[in-house]
Amino acid sequence: MQSLDVISVNIWQILASLANLVLLFLMVKKFLYKPVKKMLEQRQNTIQGDYDAASEAKEKAVSAQNEYEEKLRGAKEEADGVIKNAVSIANEREKEIIAQAKQKAEGIVRQAENDAVLERKKAEDGIRKEIVEVSSLLTEKMLEREVSADDHKHFIDSFIESIGDENDAN
């Protein structure tokens, strides 16, 4: 029966193999499985942290972009407001300059009118003097006598008054 020994089942050997297997399983579990599992969890946490950081960075970038766009819109609105304000100030200044120019023009016209009136009065006075001279010469020739200074003055004054009355009537 020797051939049965080769095929026979040895319980002690099976129990020893099972004990070795259990021991090997426990050792692998303690020294290999738990550290590998812990390392995998740490790696998973690190990756998740990286994903969270990337997500947060993306949100910050989107928020910064929105804030930048809002500031840009605000700057454009402010620039438009500044331009509108400058245009309104320029229009007001234009009106002021035109009003000042009109006032100066009116002043120049008034001054020219006053100068014309003065020149007319000077011309009238000059004409009166010439008329007085001519009338005195005519009077002397008509009377053919020498007129005294008092007579001469009296004729001139009456003649000037009559000329002044005629000009005032006109």
Give percent helix, percent strand, percent coil of the chain, each to the nearest 5: 95, 0, 5
Distance CA 55, CA 51 (A): 6
Does residue 1 fall inside a structural domain? no
Q: What is the pLDDT of residue 145?
A: 56
Express as a percent the part of the chain with pLDDT over 70. 87
Does residue 35 fall inside a structural domain? yes
- At 85, is the pLDDT very low, low, confident or very high (cuts 50, 70, 90)? very high
Domain that holds residue 77: 12-169
Does residue 4 fall inside a structural domain? no
Residue 135 CA to its chain's centroid (Å): 77
User: How many domains does one find in the chain?
Assistant: 1
Express as a percent the part of the chain with pLDDT over 90. 56
- At 150, is the pLDDT very low, low, confident or very high (cuts 50, 70, 90)? confident
Distance CA 97, CA 118 (A): 31
Q: How far apart are the first and last CA of the chain?
A: 176
